[in-house]
A and B are shown apart, each in its own frame.
Chain A
């Protein structure tokens, strides 16, 4: 037999429920912890959501954050944060910093004069400086962006709930959505914990996590549905373990190819999308975990009514009739 890389043995018999109270408890604790963090520490919102201005500076001279702060202090800008950016793809003499200026209260639109003042002040201390990106968002728009972002994630979850409900049973839909909530919430919680910048692209990442996580869960449920029809007498718990073990190889395989892409992006993709990629990376790991330890457990807890016939019959579902 030819050699194959195998992360998972051909036949596994892992009992995914053996430590279910530990795993389930850990998930609940992580979710609660995330909620607490989000509401107490809060998220480090980018200007998309808070209003304000970010200026990306680039210079051949080394960045001294203290000097920058001093130069800008005279302008009385209010809340200013300055941070140096590092990336392996930068040239040796490429020094990049991000300056964020929060929107001042009562300012509805952005003032180009203010940006010009900041640029002049920085040019005074570092003549080699340039400004590759300057972005400003007014507080009015950012409020709307917050609303539409939350709506997007909510709409995504509801859409998935309905799809899974129609294609499977309502218990499956509840389990899927619980896993989704877990993945998204814990990802956001980690962003709050490490005070990583949370902006519009992170919301896009959250939505992609929704898509990935549900993908993972649905594959197992699809198999579970098939097994429900096949082994009518097997206890539900045993059957779920069988299903998870049967699909384990695929779950790990897909997670690893996706993780490979994401890790490559994290290393080589540049600092501009690093936050976005990091969110996605967290989501894939959490999504795989919740597929194995969260979604099924909830379905088992609710229980499935097996007295009537399952929706799909046998190994072939309705799609199998389509001649490929």
Chain B
């Protein structure tokens, strides 16, 4: 029999709402071995989704299975998971090594001291392991938390904004470590609101916007999908009617509307071209652009990135 192997995580029609607020809406995807990046701006629903994927939160509708089993209220399954939440709180009174040891004991690790040594070596914190964690820098706390996440050698790692607080050197170390773990056959899901981080690390990207799966696949596919999304861009200039008329002739522009306040609202499915063509058009017509801004706030960071590129 042939076909793709069973996904490590299957998210099927998952929604989650808090009262009248919808945090995640009808999201479906599979996660397979390798590094998968969950990308989206702050407040997009990434953390809610990760919490449902690890059984920490219930779904309002839909199902999440991990290794073929429902993840919610399934403690035996948790031994195969390593989860690092975005919250950086640690037991400040505890020494780093004691924390990793405790997490290992809770997860039933045999040969505990060896496992603790290995985990702390992986994050390169052996020199600080006997210090209380309230003396650690933010980056050190994150690394010791990662050691505690790795101590039981989990098959699946779920990391929520793992690079928060890390300095450039630590980021490089962290990325190498994750790539090594992925090469060893682990499945890693990491979330980030920084496009560059995900681009460098992830084989597969899940783009979450406003609680919905906006796009998924390889990074190039995501970029292409993003470029085809319609964007509303507000333009303020010194000759709005003239620019609006001219802009209608641009291939990157689908529609133009002039507001009563004199601002132009441009609808485009190709912002990359628009950000090149519009200034050229204005320059050619001797029109001064005062302000160009995307109106789809939830996509602002992605839009900004694309414009900068």
* A, B from the same assembly: no
